[in-house]
Amino acid sequence: MKNPSKRITWKEISRQKFLMVCAAIFFVYGIVFYYVPLAGWVMAFQNYKPKDGFFSQFVGLEKFKFLFSDEVFLRDIRNTLAMGVLNLVTTFLMAIIFAILLNEVRNMFGKKLVQTISYLPHFLSWIIVTGILHDALSSSGIVNELLVNLGILDSPINFFANPSYFWPIVAFANVWKETGWNAIVYLAAITSIDPSLYEAATLDGAGRWGKIWHVTLPGIKSTIMILLIMNVGNVLNAGFEVQYLLGNGLVKSVSETIDIYTLTWGISQNDYSLGTAAGIFKSVVAIILILGANWIAKRAGEDRLF
């Protein structure tokens, strides 16, 4: 057997010149929009002043020291991770469960209708979703009214005043908004499963549960793995809008995320250096998480990103 040549020759390049040009466009795009802005990271090591720009006073790791000696920042890391993991697990599981259940619906019209309705919330902006939540969960809102009238509660509870409700409310909001949308990918993956596998399973005596367990789930396992790895990197993007819009003084200790911290110090207090330092920290953690998840997937012998 002759190994395919790995050498890059001019001939090869000219043969692929069209593809090369196409690739170059995106390569340049990537450099300009993803790597050039990284030059701004230098701000994290300076005492950046907009007036002095790039030539601001250099302070080394000062800003990072401030960050990690600030209890509020450490608390915000905890909140971000907690909400990120909670959101990841709930939205991820719900999307898969929802896709499988929807796939089992035999009535095409009902299936389409449910699917369309379920992904509509995705197109609402967070400001609207939080507005609805704020109304629904207020002490005179529909949820409290229902609970009191059903005799489950004696008096209305103020859901937003109790820190222990905050994470579940955020997770619920995410699930409500994104389940239908996220399920689309899984539904697509399910349709690509070879129908003969189901027939074979039926012949082998598998019921509905058996088919879900032995055919559908293994069929979409690689999709699940890839999406999981990609989403793990997003754990620290636990959100900004939801927490910013739903938070208040009382639940500050559980609602503030790294992004909000960056906003308060970086933008409001005009300390771009501190904001950048927090941002760098976030990026580093995200890279570690992605590499970690990828490594685990590799170990488990599954499909992986790279």
Partner 1 sequence: MKVKLWRRVFAASMSAAMLLGLTACGGSASTESSESSESSDGIKTFTMFIAMPGSEINDDNDIMNIIAEKTGAKLKETWLTGQTDAEAIGTIIAGGEYPDFINGGDAMMSLYDAGVLVPWDDYLEKYPNLKEMYTDEEWDKFRQDDGKIYWANVFQNTYGEDRATTHNDEAFWIQARVLEWAGYPEIKTLDQYFDLLESYADANPTMANGTKNIPYTALCEDWRYFCIENAPQFLDGYPNDGSVIVDTDTMQVVDYNTTPTAKRYFQKLNEEYQKGYVDVEFATQTYDEYIAKLSTGAVLGMCDQWWNFAYNVNDVFKQQGLDEQGCNYVPLGLTIDEGMENRWHNYADTLNNSSGVAVTTSCSDIDAAFKFMNDLLDQEIHDLRYWGVEGVDYLVDENGMYYRTEEMRMQCSDPAYQASHMCNYSYMPQWLGTSRDGKNAMQPDQQASEFLDSLSTPLQKLFEAYGVDSYVDLIGSVKEEPGPWFPMYSYSGSMTTETPGGVAWVKMGEVKHEWLPKVVMEPDFETTWNEYMTAYNAANPQDFLAEMQTELERRAGL
Positions in the binding site for partner 1 (CB under 8 A):
18, 22, 25-26, 49-51, 71-72, 127, 134, 138-139, 156, 158, 160-161, 248-250, 252-253, 263-272, 274
The H-or-E segment that residue 223 falls in is helix 221-232
Closer Cβ to partner 1, 178 or 271, answer by number: 271
Asked whether 87 and 238 are in contact (CB, 8 A), the reply is yes
Closer Cβ to partner 1, 92 or 167, answer by number: 167
How many residues are present in the chain?
306
- Min separation Cβ 70 and partner 1, Å: 9
Please report, for residues 85, 91, 119, 182, 260, the alpha-carbon distance to residue 126 in angstroms, rounded to integers and kept in the order given: 20, 16, 15, 17, 15
- Min separation Cβ 246 and partner 1, Å: 9
- Min separation Cβ 22 and partner 1, Å: 6
Closer Cβ to partner 1, 170 or 183, answer by number: 170
Closer Cβ to partner 1, 88 or 254, answer by number: 254
- Min separation Cβ 39 and partner 1, Å: 16
- Min separation Cβ 305 and partner 1, Å: 21
- Residue-by-residue DSSP string for 191-209: HTS-HHHHHHHHHTT--HH
Residue type, 162: N
Q: Which of 35, 54, 33, 32 is nearest to 43 (CA)?
A: 54
Q: Hey, what are 154's tokens?
A: 């004696």
Closer Cβ to partner 1, 76 or 178, answer by number: 76
User: Any residues with CB less than 8 A from the CB of 246 and at least 6 apart, and which?
Assistant: 130, 133, 134, 160, 166, 169, 170, 173, 255
Closer Cβ to partner 1, 103 or 139, answer by number: 139
For the chain, the first-to-last Cα distance in angstroms comes to: 27
